[in-house]
Amino acid sequence: MKTPRVQNLLAIALVFGLAFTSTNLFAQQGAQAGRVPVGHPVPFWSQPAAFPNGPLQNVRQPAKGGGGVTVVQSFDGIDFNGSNCGCLPPDTNAAVGNGYVAETVNIQFRVWTTSGTLMLDEPLDTLFGAPTGGDPDVVFDDISNRWYINAFDSSDSGLFLAVSNDANPLDGFVTYDLTNVNGFPDYAKGGFNKDAIFIAYNNFGTGSGDAEIASIDKNALLSGTLIYFISDPKPQFRAMPPARMHGDTTGGTEWFASTDGSDAGGSTMRVTMMTNYLSNSPVFTYTSVPVTTYQGASAANQPGGTVTVFPNTTTYQVHYRNGHLLTAMASALAGDGFVFPKALIYDFNVSGGTPTLTKEFDLDHGSGVAMQMPSVDLNKNGDYGFNWFESSSTEFMTMWVDGVNTTKKGLKNPLALATVVTSSTGFMSFSFRIGDYSSIQLDPADNLTFWAANEYVGTSGSSDIWSTHIAAFTVPKK
């Protein structure tokens, strides 16, 4: 996420839409003088947190594995030194499809086979054919078998959207520039259904940071023409991510899951239905769904110091599976006085048109443990897969995965299968923002294997400031 320019507050009173059309060619624009990448350069935008003073005592160092899920693949992703950016936060996210795993961070792109063989490693500037300010998001559309990558364009006032030529991310991309998005489209998140691609972002250009949505005609785009519509839903700050509607066969409806307007806290989540989106007159239907009361967290620790909790209480990935919306966020609960962030998981049933809460999980590893950047998906057996990183006064920033096996007798307790997939021994020396993303997604090859991506801090955290990790796992039948 970029640091927003100072703007006058603008109240959004009306829902409106504008359509824009272009061919698949765009003018490559040079970077603006003085443009600051979304991943802020470390020397200018943050100061080191306090380093541990003397030898640490009783530092928790969990070994890899040891939980109940079956980890079938585990390897490091892009790290700070390999990011081609020299900045933070990483904005870690990945997607899986057609035998490949692709990861984007600020501001690098990598592709592996699902067996872990590195196939491509290039700057996003190379992928897009022009400089980008970052905030990337990679999506595999398992309806159309295409890859989508969006990020700031060269002016930071629009969005690049790269679309793969086919299901193989090594076969090249075509890049489009969405220029008429009202300027500075921050925190952009991608989704899709049968007939459209959606990018929701915070408008810090002409707006006050509330969400806007770009709805892109998928059929036209895959034929080489960019047609998109910009709309303003009910005010929503910080994120209103669109669903990745796996298995959608009809189109016509897109879903969103977010907090109910603010990242301060609340006791409801907002589920939004959008129709008539490929037009200048979209229709939004909002439902406030009661959930356990949550509130922005105030603290997270690491051995010898602290970790930022900014930004928490915001969703950043939504999956749609067979009438269910899956999303997650980090926020604090009443059990510890609303102090430490926990991984909050939500499953909304939207099959009947009126959203209801099917299940919520409050993942909690105990007093003083901060659990951040969670994500969730649901496999074809009805089993949940979770991903997050955690830290405490006795644990450095470490990536974990978990699964909940559903049986005829009901749901197992969350964290019963929790497995740590990184061995973190490094102090997070720069701590002003944890990032904007993590991700988890089922491999469409079997709809059973979860692929998760998150960040952690390794042994050389003072110089290789952040690392990312990718892990694939399955939930055992028990």
Residues of the chain falling short of pLDDT 70: 1-67, 407-414, 478
Give me the pLDDT at residue 478, please: 65
CATH of the domain at 320: 2.130.10.10
In a domain, 45, yes or no: no
256 Cβ neighbours under 8 A, 6+ residues apart: 200, 233, 240, 241, 242, 243, 270, 271, 272, 274, 318
Distance between CA atoms of residues 153 and 161, nearest Å: 9
- What is the residue range of 426's domain? 63-474
Give me the pLDDT at residue 140, please: 98
Give me the pLDDT at residue 33, please: 27
In a domain, 204, yes or no: yes
Residue type, 21: T
In a domain, 55, yes or no: no
Q: How far is CA 98 from CA 122, 139, 168, 189, in A?
A: 20, 13, 7, 22
Looking up tokens 């995965």 gives 401
Give me the pLDDT at residue 201, please: 97
Residue-wise pLDDT for 275-292, tens only, equals 999 999 999 999 999 999
Closest CA to 188 of 163, 215, 213: 213
Q: How many domains does the chain have?
A: 1
Give me the pLDDT at residue 378, please: 97
Is the distance from CB of 271 to CB of 346 less than 8 angstroms? no
In a domain, 226, yes or no: yes
Kindly state the tokens that stand for 157.
Answer: 């006032």
In a domain, 269, yes or no: yes
Distance between CA atoms of residues 296 and 300, nearest Å: 12
Give me the pLDDT at residue 17, please: 37
In a domain, 426, yes or no: yes
Residue-wise pLDDT for 443-474, tens only, equals 999 999 999 999 999 988 889 999 999 999 99
In a domain, 224, yes or no: yes
Sheet holding 196-203, edge to edge: 17-23, 225-231, 211-217, 196-203, 185-192, 243-246, 318-321, 324-331, 342-349, 356-363
In a domain, 140, yes or no: yes
pTM over 0.85: yes
Rg (CA), the chain: 21
Kindly state the tokens that stand for 397.
Answer: 């920033």
In degrees and rounded to multiples of 5, residue 124 shows phi and psi of: -60, -30
Give me the pLDDT at residue 74, please: 97
